[in-house]
């Protein structure tokens, strides 16, 4: 869709408002044409001594009334137009927000946050001006130009009109040349502003890191360079835009000189009256607005085109995850994944390769494994943030793509590794998914997440603002507030992606104990590097290099590592993908990652306990 197609569609949608503004502009143009003609007739009447006394004051009264009417109509059409054009800006911002909210991680890998923010501000403003002021100013200027030129030609003297209009084709050629360069300069200015906006957003978000590393001066220098580039690009665009006014001025000066020279000759030879030449001069003065309007409109259109060239592709970008599901509600049931394969774009190694699981409703699954094993990737596939390359996932017997994304994610409470808190109070962050939750319900969720005592110690308790991204809270407090938020949501599926990494073992134990009490009927997936976190899970999967290498309960994995029981095979494929734990026999060195990590973590806990006692 081009900018002109967008504006045409908007005009059709709000044609009444544009028609009303157009009618008011037509009245303004007609009154504007009537005024010079009336003044010319008054001049001729005064020269002939045919207008004096009361009749003169009546004519002057009509002129004043016409001027007041023009003033009122101009105010009215601007109010009507701007109200409609602002609605277009609001609609575009809503469309942009909805599109961005629907996009997945694949889309954001190729975008910059600051640049996307610039689209919602500067770029939308430029498109809004093109649909509002540019459209009506173009209509106003064109109508005024047609009426004035027509009146000059047919109502005054066609010979003088043709002579006066000779410089205008040269002005049109100059406008075309300026517009070409202005479009390029406007696009570069918008791109530079987007880069500057992105730098500001990243600098503010990472300010503490910059200070800790002593990089504030270097970052300030980078900002200064980007600000200088943005200013230079903006100035260049303004320079091209400023060229319109001299082109108009030179054209009108040449036209005025031709009017006085040729018109004076016509008056000298008696072929034109002084009043007619006066009217013609006034009409020529009225051409100032159409000429300036032409330059202004071209400037706004070129800025709008440059902005739409940046905004349009984002609005039209296909969704990174298709949302064609028709089911508007989730029916909880068994969670089954079969043969999942997935690779991130540009990655040389598969993040998941043949992963499968079967988790009955109401049970808890623990996902463990070394860093980069694919645990969080599996969670993202459950959330449908990424589509699986091969294999499928079903929930309650229904494939995940059959649910709408809104329904699927409403049925899942997710706590990521780095929880996000909004610039609101603690209570508002906890009640994000349930704004109607009572203070008692919010407090119960906070107690279950072992964060109630921390909250009451804050200056305003649950009413304490947490700042952007929860900056006033510690990492452990942010995680526990996010867990409380997930528990209050009461979704049938709870995903905790290493959500206890920033809390101590004692607090983690309290949270897990509360979780065991509250998870009845709720399916839970626990991702953790601490094996003690998942030891009570109904199933545990060990992921390594994107594959399931061990599967079972905590005790079965430890027992399998100690040695195979008589008559039990040492290794074998699991029906849902991966392999069971492998051991070399009684007394042999274990090859079980789970058992090895358990021993290491138990030793670390013992040493930490001894250190605390000392």
- pLDDT the model gives residue 210: 77
Q: Specify whether 353 is located in the same domain as 237.
A: no
3-state DSSP helix/strand/coil % of the chain, to nearest 5: 65, 10, 25
Q: Are 124 and 89 in contact (CB under 8 A)?
A: yes
Question: CA torsion 469→496→367→517, rounded to 10°?
Answer: 150
| Residues of the domain holding 503 | 327-411+491-614
Q: Specify whether 583 is located in the same domain as 498.
A: yes
**Parallel, antiparallel, or unpaired: how do β-strands 493-497 and 523-527 relate?**
parallel
Average pLDDT over residues 12-24: 81
Q: Specify whether 339 is located in the same domain as 300.
A: no
pLDDT of 238 over the 90 cut: no
- Report the C-alpha gap between 413 and 373 in whole angstroms: 23
- Report the C-alpha gap between 220 and 211 in whole angstroms: 12
DSSP code per residue over 531-571? HHHHTT-SEEEEEETTEEEEEE-HHHHHHHHH-PPTT--S-
The residue whose two tokens read 């006692």 is 613
Structure confidence by residue, pLDDT tens digits, 82-122: 777 778 888 888 888 888 888 888 888 778 877 888 888 88
Q: Specify whether 133 is located in the same domain as 223.
A: yes
- pLDDT the model gives residue 578: 38
* Tokens coding 122: 């500067």
Q: For residue 156, is it within any domain?
A: yes
Residue 512 CB contacts under 8 Å (≥ 6 apart), including other chains: 500, 533, 536
Q: For residue 321, is it within any domain?
A: no
* Tokens coding 167: 């410089």
pLDDT of 42 over the 80 cut: no
The residue whose two tokens read 């001894």 is 610
Q: Specify whether 215 is located in the same domain as 233.
A: yes
Q: For residue 429, is it within any domain?
A: yes
| Nearest in space to 196 (alpha carbons), one of 130, 251, 117 | 117
Structure confidence by residue, pLDDT tens digits, 345-363: 877 788 899 899 999 988 8
Q: Specify whether 572 is located in the same domain as 480.
A: no
Q: Is 580 left (phi over 0), alpha (psi -120 to 50) or beta?
A: beta
- pLDDT the model gives residue 198: 79
B/e letters for 473-496, b = 16+ CB within 10 Å, e = fewer, are beebbbbbbbbbbbbbbebbbbbb
Q: For residue 467, is it within any domain?
A: yes
Give the CATH number for residue 427: 3.40.50.300
Q: Are 38 and 62 in contact (CB under 8 A)?
A: yes
Q: Specify whether 288 is located in the same domain as 187.
A: yes
- Report the C-alpha gap between 588 and 565 in whole angstroms: 14
Band (584; pLDDT cuts 50, 70, 90): very low
Look at residue 168 and give its three-state secondary structure.
Answer: helix
Q: For residue 351, is it within any domain?
A: yes
pLDDT of 364 over the 50 cut: yes
- pLDDT the model gives residue 440: 92
- Report the C-alpha gap between 128 and 275 in whole angstroms: 44
* Tokens coding 34: 């009537």
Look at residue 340 and give its three-state secondary structure.
Answer: strand
- pLDDT the model gives residue 571: 38
How many domains, in total, are found in the chain?
A: 3
Of residues 353 and 79, the one with the higher pLDDT is 353
**Residue at a domain's end among 448, 471, 487:** 487
The residue whose two tokens read 């998942």 is 534
Q: Specify whether 153 is located in the same domain as 248.
A: yes
Q: Specify whether 436 is located in the same domain as 539.
A: no
| Nearest in space to 562 (alpha carbons), one of 540, 539, 541, 587 | 587
Q: For residue 309, is it within any domain?
A: yes
pTM score, whole prediction: 0.68
| Nearest in space to 451 (alpha carbons), one of 494, 424, 481 | 481
| Nearest in space to 421 (alpha carbons), one of 483, 363, 370 | 483
Q: Specify whether 139 is located in the same domain as 228.
A: yes
Give the CATH number for residue 128: 1.20.1560.10
**Residue at a domain's end among 487, 502, 529:** 487
Q: Specify whether 402 is located in the same domain as 462.
A: no
Q: Specify whether 496 is located in the same domain as 482.
A: no
């Amino acid at each position: 869709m081009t900018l002109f197609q967008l504006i045409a569609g908007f005009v059709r949608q709000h044609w009444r408002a544009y028609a009303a503004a157009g009618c008011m502009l037509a009245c303004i143009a007609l009154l504007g044409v009537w005024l010079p003609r009336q003044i010319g007739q008054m001049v001729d009447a005064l020269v002939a001594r045919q207008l004096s006394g009361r009749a003169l004051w009546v004519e002057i009264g009509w002129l004043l009334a016409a001027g007041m009417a023009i003033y009122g109509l101009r105010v009215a059409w601007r109010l009507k137009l701007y109200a409609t054009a602002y609605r277009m800006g609001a609609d575009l911002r809503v469309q942009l927000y909805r599109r961005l909210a629907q996009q997945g991680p694949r889309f954001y890998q190729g975008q910059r946050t600051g640049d996307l923010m610039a689209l919602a501000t500067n770029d939308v403003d430029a498109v809004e001006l093109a649909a509002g002021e540019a459209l009506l100013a173009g209509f106003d200027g064109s109508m005024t130009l047609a009426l004035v030129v027509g009146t000059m030609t047919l109502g005054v003297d066609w010979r003088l009109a043709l002579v006066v209009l000779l410089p205008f084709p040269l002005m049109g050629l100059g406008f075309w040349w300026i517009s070409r360069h202005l479009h390029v300069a406007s696009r570069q200015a918008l791109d530079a502003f987007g880069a500057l906006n992105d730098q500001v957003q990243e600098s503010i978000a990472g300010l503490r890191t910059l200070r800790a590393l002593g990089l504030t001066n270097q970052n300030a220098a980078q900002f200064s360079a980007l600000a200088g580039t943005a200013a230079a690009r903006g100035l260049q665009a303004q320079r091209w835009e400023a060229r319109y006014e001299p082109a108009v001025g030179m054209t009108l000066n040449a036209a005025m000189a031709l009017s006085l020279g040729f018109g004076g000759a016509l008056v000298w030879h008696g072929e034109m009256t002084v009043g007619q030449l006066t009217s013609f001069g006034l009409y020529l003065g009225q051409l100032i607005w159409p000429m300036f309007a032409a330059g202004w409109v071209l400037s706004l259109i070129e800025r709008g085109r440059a902005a739409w060239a940046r905004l349009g592709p984002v609005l039209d970008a296909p969704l990174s995850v298709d949302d064609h599901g028709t089911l508007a509600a989730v029916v909880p049931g068994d969670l089954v994944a079969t043969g999942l394969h997935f690779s991130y774009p540009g990655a040389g190694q598969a993040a998941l390769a043949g992963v499968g699981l079967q988790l009955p409703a109401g049970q808890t699954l623990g996902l463990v494994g070394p860093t980069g094993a694919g645990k969080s990737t599996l969670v993202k596939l459950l959330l449908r943030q990424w589509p699986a390359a091969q294999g499928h996932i079903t929930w309650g017997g229904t494939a995940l793509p059959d649910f709408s994304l809104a329904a699927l994610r409403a049925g899942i409470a997710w706590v990521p590794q780095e929880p996000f808190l909004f610039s609101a109070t603690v209570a508002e962050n906890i009640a994000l998914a349930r704004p109607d939750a009572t203070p008692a319900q919010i407090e119960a969720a906070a107690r279950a997440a072992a964060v109630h005592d921390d909250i009451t110690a804050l200056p305003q308790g649950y009413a304490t603002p947490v700042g952007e991204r929860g900056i006033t809270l510690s990492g452990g407090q942010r995680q526990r507030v996010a867990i409380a938020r997930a528990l209050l949501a009461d979704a049938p599926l709870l995903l905790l992606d290493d959500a206890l990494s920033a809390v101590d073992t004692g607090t983690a134990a309290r949270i897990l104990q509360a979780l065991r009490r509250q998870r009845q009927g709720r399916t839970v997936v626990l991702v953790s590097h601490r094996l003690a976190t998942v030891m009570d899970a109904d199933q545990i999967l060990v992921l390594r290099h994107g594959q399931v290498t061990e599967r079972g309960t905590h005790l079965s994995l430890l027992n399998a590592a100690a040695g195979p029981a008589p008559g039990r095979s040492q290794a074998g494929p699991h029906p849902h993908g991966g392999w069971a734990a492998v051991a070399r026999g009684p007394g042999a060195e274990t090859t079980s990652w789970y058992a090895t990590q358990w021993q290491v973590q138990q030793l670390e806990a013992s040493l930490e306990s001894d250190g605390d006692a000392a």
